[in-house]
Chain A
Amino acid sequence: MNRALPVLSLLFLLLVWEGVVRGLAIPPYVLPTPSLVLLTLWSSFGSLAVSWWFTLKISFGALGLACLGGVAIACVFALSRPLEAALLPLAVMLQVTPLVAIAPLILIYVESTTAALLTCAWVIAFFPILSNTLAGLRAVDPNLADLFRLYRATRWQRLRLLLVPGALPYFLAGLRISSGLSLIGAVTAEMVAGVAGRETGLASRILEASFRSETPKMFAALVLLVLTGVLVYSGFNALSRIALWQLYGERPKENH
């Protein structure tokens, strides 16, 4: 029942939308009906899918790099408090500055558009991973750490058996947030970049359609974007839930 509720309310809204637009005879370039949006999505799926794939590649690429960068920086900070004190404010500044404000600069400095888009998406996606992973590394039970010392654990054992599993839930929480952010970053950066280059993403389709007043196509691209965002988020949500089940055994598990 709880799962059906959001679906039902969404369906209801769409029906109202459809009814109002038809009833008031609103022209499609002002507000298309949901059914027209769906039809447009279907008819222009070929070109949209190519753009969709590009946007997906940028955001997953940025997310991957954000994982690498976020975790690496978190490890460095965890090892050295002075480095954290010196550099964390920089990361925070990067995080609080609106992406649209930095994107033009990045587009100037980074030659390749693809690389520039990746950089933009990375800039907003890496911080949640960095701060969460750092919190996880810092949250290690000091008594447990003492125990590792008492039994003469090597650095590698400490990392593998204590720090990684301890920080994993924090990292996963950061990853969930960043998965959504990297998509936002990829789209925002492309909006700022404007329509350019051989390969373009969904943002370019939206801009293009807006120039031509193809409102239904704008909606179609938007629908694709929203669906992608929801799918990516719930995908990572499920992934981290499964990982935590496996690790923490919240669900009874047969073993040994």
Chain B
Amino acid sequence: MNTRPAVVLDDVSKTFDSGLQALASVSLQAASGEFLTLLGPSGCGKSSVLKLIAGLDTPTTGSVISPATQAPGEAATAFVFQDPTLMPWANVFDNIALPLRLAGASREMMRARIAPVLATVGLTEFAGSHPAQLSGGMRMRVSLARALVTQPRVLLMDEPFAALDEITRARLNQDLLAWWIERQLTVVFVTHSVYEAVFLSQRVLVMGARPGRILEEVEITAPYPRATTFRTSLEFQQACARLTAALDRAQAGAPA
């Protein structure tokens, strides 16, 4: 893991047309291959940060450097939403194929790329199923497969597992870490959950609201791979305590 930054936000502010200032003077860096998490109360601008990194929105002031803003069209950035955001009219194969198809890939090329991704998310037998026929966890796996199929360098995830049950969520956290290590991804992850943030991340940025800004930074030094036993370790609990305290300070600074 080197330290060349994959994503840099420099003194970014964002004011929407409505006049609402969503972000004020946000600066952050994600090193290439880093697992970075944004944690903060609802409405503090976490999704706005991800959209800026994805190039789906432009900052009012400041600069955003990321693969999506520097080299658009390379599909080096993938986005996973809280909802699986699948096309209900398309089967699993066609849903995962979407980024490839939009880039003009041939059917053979799609098959070659999708087979391993399907195996990775464990949905090989469901290639022909439609989203309506899958469970919530399986749909999220399809969404993850679609994000991974372009072999992105940066993976942006906006509360991807928030709507899932605890067991499915833990499984997917485990799998996500495995894919992150295997593919040397840079992940910027958004969550409301202190436990999820601690289990996954190397570094957590705690944000405050009105206007959205970064208030604290907490490092989670526990080594990878992190097994499920990490969840019950003293180290985990101490990290959670530190993060919760930081979150409390952030909330106190900006009353909801």
Contact = CB atoms under 8 A, between A and B. Distances in A.
DSSP majority for the A interface? helix
Nearest to B99: A151
Nearest to A250: B132
Contacts of A150: 54-56, 68, 77-79
A152 B128 contact: no
A146 B79 contact: yes
Contact of B98 (A143, A147, A247, A250): A147
Contacts of B127: 255-256
Contact of B89 (A148, A151, A165, A254): A165
A180 B90 CA distance: 30
Interface string A227-256: 000000000000000000001111011111
Contacts of A157: 101-102
B216 interface: no
Contact of B93 (A146, A147, A165, A255): A255
A22 interface: no
B11 interface: no
B101 A248 contact: no
B128 A161 contact: no
Contacts of B129: 249, 252
A91 interface: no
A141 interface: yes
Nearest to B86: A144
Contact of A151 (B91, B93, B102, B128): B102
B87 interface: yes
A143 B54 CA distance: 13
B135 to A, nearest CB: 15
Interface residues of A, number: 26
Contacts of B130: 248-250, 253
B56 A152 contact: no
A196 B154 CA distance: 72
Nearest to B101: A161
A79 B129 CA distance: 33
Nearest to B56: A146
Contacts of A64: none
A24 B2 CA distance: 100
A61 interface: no
Contact of A147 (B68, B85, B101): B85
A148 B88 CA distance: 15
A144 B131 CA distance: 14
A148 B79 CA distance: 11
B54 A151 contact: no
B72 interface: yes
Contacts of B133: 249, 252
Contacts of B10: none
A166 interface: yes
Contacts of B90: 165
B68 A151 contact: no
A240 to B, nearest CB: 14
Interface in A130-155: 141, 143-144, 146-153
B81 A253 contact: no
A226 B54 CA distance: 57
**The 10 A-B residue pairs with the shortest CB-CB distance in the complex, in nearest-first order:** A249-B130, A255-B128, A165-B89, A151-B102, A143-B85, A247-B89, A143-B81, A151-B99, A153-B102, A256-B128
Given A150-B55, A165-B87, A252-B129, 8 more contacts: A144-B87, A147-B98, A150-B54, A150-B68, A161-B87, A166-B87, A248-B132, A253-B91
16 contacts: A143-B85, A146-B56, A147-B98, A150-B56, A150-B68, A151-B98, A151-B102, A151-B103, A152-B73, A152-B102, A161-B102, A168-B89, A248-B89, A250-B130, A253-B130, A256-B91
Interface of A: 141, 143-144, 146-153, 157, 161-162, 165-166, 168, 247-250, 252-256
